[in-house]
Chains A and B, each alone.
Chain A
Amino acid sequence: MSVTAGAPERVDGHPPTGPDPRRRGLAERLLAVRELSLLLALAALVLVTTLRNERFLSGQSVKDLLLGCAILVILAVGQTLVIVTRNVDLSVGSILGLVAFATGSLFLAAPGTPWPVALLLGVALGALCGVVNGGLIAVAKVPALVITLGTLYAFRGVDYYWASGRQINAADMPRSFLRLGNQTVLGVPVLFLVALVVVAVVGYYLRAYRSGRELYAIGSEPAAARLSGIPVGRRVFAVFVANGALAGLAGVLYAARFGTLDAAAGTGLELQVVAAAVVGGVAIFGGSGSAYGAALGAVLLTTIGSSLAVLRIDPFWQQAVVGALILAAIGLDRLLAVRMAARLRGRSAHGA
């Protein structure tokens, strides 16, 4: 391990979150640029697509787009909490699948269940999966990548074992619940509103709460965070539980939106989620990034998918574009970090 040995280089890789107000201002400006550039990319994409086919901005098309990205946004925001602490949760796709199937089974077994109860139970089941992840990581002292790779398989296996080939159809679920997945308020899908609330809450928490700021400290340098009295183990545990709960929420919404469920729901979603966060400027090695950026990243990835179809580009290009975008995003991050480090060095040299 080169926790200390790599320290000089690590400073390059992370905007410092130390007390120096000038440095913080610079770091924040850079992050703001990232969200701005995402918005610009999104706007350019929408503009080009609309010029090609004006119906891209019609009410129905926008509604489909917002519906399509809501679940990915929720997952990306949850993943941001985890990645900021220099961890990663690869099991979110499996948690989503498990919770979605559990929700369907609940309605199958007790058709009269009111949907808020199902929602709460789904979130609780997701949080329980998060407890398993967080518990194994924090108590057994095992890296998150490995543990969540294991639970990715384990949760999915439980899902398959439980489903044993069955499929749950929309007809098995109450109409009030399914309406949740497609209803709109003033033209905006309820699903997207839920996602917006999640983004706002997590974004505000990360920015304004002491424990939220501590997550960045943990991701920047775990050893230093612990020495400065931050309860690292407890925070990381909480982050995995929160991410599990959000994946559970996404699972319930998935069930409401698609209605037809089997054990394969959400397979492979974890990589899209990580991709959305990385494209959104969340540094994969922790310590920087925001929930807003991750949410924008998720919206951008979803929009690319839809506009490729409108632009008559072979839909098979979609995944390749996503991959290229990830590489571009991390390359850009690296470039910005190197430049900022150079500027900081220059400034401190002047000050001396």
Chain B
Amino acid sequence: MAHDSLYAAPPVGAEAEPPGAGGERGAGRLAGLRGALGSWDAAVVAALVVATLLASATVQNFATGRNVQFLLLDLVPLALLALPMTLIVITGEIDLSVASTVGLCSTLMGQMWLSSGLSLELICVLVVLLGAVLGAFNGVFVTGFGLPSLAVTIGTLALYRGLSFVVLGDQAVADFPGDWTAAAVRSIPGTSIPVAVVPVLLLALVFGVVLHATPAGRALYAMGNNDQAATFAGVSVARTKFWLFVASGAVCGLVGVFWTLRYASARGDNATGLELTVVTAVLLGGVSIFGGRGGLIGVVAGVLLLGVLRNALQLADVDANALTIVTGALLIASVVLPNAVADVRGRLHRRRQRATPVAR
């Protein structure tokens, strides 16, 4: 694709160097970068453990069952949306419309419940299918017309959010049956772990297996590194990307159902702005915005790290809105650090190379 380097800063880094032009220097840097990112999963998991321990020790009420329950419940939408987003970013694309898709699915669910007379079971299934259709719309624009996904999904971000206001206006539908809304926040008996975590784990497992243990998953990395090379290697790039957008839409539909039931409210502004948090979590998890690198373990750890930090600071009476400093700083650190490490390694490597002939 012509646009997949659009996120790139001008080619000051090794990635932007044309293959071959950088010669040894570029190769050394790339190797360094890969080394740094290989340990990124471990670094995020370690940061998660440290943050959790610190919060449990110093923040009052953090390590209580009730708080754990709310922390996990709050993370369900973020975790679900991060799964397909991981795969999409690995292929070098992005989907900024996820939060708007959730909003539209939520209002459609409310509208159907209000006026269609269908059973809620059927409505939930329909909403997930509708989400898939909305995702397919993105997919057609990106793969069929060859348009940059960044621009397309900024367009559908506005379009879907606008439509979700068209569906319900500024009204909210809130009269969902109590046993359904209670089920959304119920915990597994005897624990403080919400039932909703189970489908998240199952989906994470599915996405993880697909990404890391199947040829299709390897193909995602291949096309993230180089679309054309992947095509020549027999990967059907367009079709794969199309289905990724469909999967993303379907997961958005699922999140729309969960969001509506959890807050017992279908509103046009549900999940507004969540897309940026999802992208943050994915990048924090070590997925490269250039595509071709990253994994699901890091992303899941990234989601949890984001959730633990925000929850702990909120309990420590930091203004919820000021917490966005933490989100931003984490995101910047997560992309600056690997590059800085790679830079230092590359420099050391070059110095060794230069030193070798002298030693002889």
Contact residues of A between 22 and 46, Cβ < 8 Å to B: none
CB contacts (< 8 Å) of B228 on chain A: these are 2, 5-6
Contact residues of A between 148 and 200, Cβ < 8 Å to B: 149-158, 160-161, 164-165
Cross-chain contact A12 with B156 (CB below 8 angstroms): no
CB contacts (< 8 Å) of A153 on chain B: these are 276, 280, 324-325, 327-328, 331
Q: Is A111 at the interface (CB under 8 A from chain B)? A: no
Residue ID in chain A nearest B17 by CB atoms: A223
Q: Beta-carbon contacts of B166-200 to A below 8 Å, as 1s and 0s?
A: 10011000000000000000000000000000000
CB contacts (< 8 Å) of B343 on chain A: these are 141
CA distance A285 to B343 in the complex (A): 27
Cross-chain contact B158 with A223 (CB below 8 angstroms): no
CB contacts (< 8 Å) of B328 on chain A: these are 149-157
Cross-chain contact B165 with A316 (CB below 8 angstroms): yes
Q: Is B283 at the interface (CB under 8 A from chain A)? A: yes
Expressed in whole angstroms, the minimum distance between the Cβ of A262 and any Cβ of chain B is 10
CA distance A316 to B323 in the complex (A): 31
CA distance A218 to B8 in the complex (A): 12
- Which of the candidate stretches B47-55, B78-86, B147-155, B297-305 sits at the interface with the other chain? B147-155
Q: Count residues of chain A with CB under 8 A from any CB of chain B.
A: 71
Expressed in whole angstroms, the minimum distance between the Cβ of A334 and any Cβ of chain B is 6
Cross-chain contact B9 with A144 (CB below 8 angstroms): yes
- Among B154, B160, B229, max chain A CB count under 10 A is at B154
CB contacts (< 8 Å) of B5 on chain A: these are 1-3, 6, 86, 222
- Which of the candidate stretches A99-107, A251-259, A270-278 sits at the interface with the other chain? A270-278
The secondary structure that dominates the A interface is helix
Cross-chain contact A143 with B169 (CB below 8 angstroms): no
A322-B162 CB under 8 A given contacts A285-B6, A327-B141: yes
CB contacts (< 8 Å) of A6 on chain B: these are 1-2, 4-5, 227-228
Q: Is B121 at the interface (CB under 8 A from chain A)? A: no
Q: Is B114 at the interface (CB under 8 A from chain A)? A: no
Q: What are 20 A-B interface contacts by the 8 Å CB criterion?
A: A2-B1, A3-B11, A5-B229, A6-B2, A6-B228, A9-B2, A13-B2, A143-B7, A149-B328, A154-B329, A154-B332, A157-B327, A165-B319, A223-B21, A285-B6, A316-B170, A316-B268, A323-B160, A327-B156, A334-B146
* Additional pairs, 9, CB under 8 Å, beyond known A86-B8, A143-B7, A149-B331: A3-B5, A5-B228, A141-B12, A157-B322, A157-B324, A157-B328, A319-B161, A323-B157, A330-B148
Chain B residues with CB under 8 Å of chain A are 1-13, 15-19, 21, 141, 145-148, 150-152, 154-163, 165-166, 169-170, 225-229, 268, 272-273, 276, 279-280, 283, 289-290, 319, 321-329, 331-332, 335-336, 339-340, 343
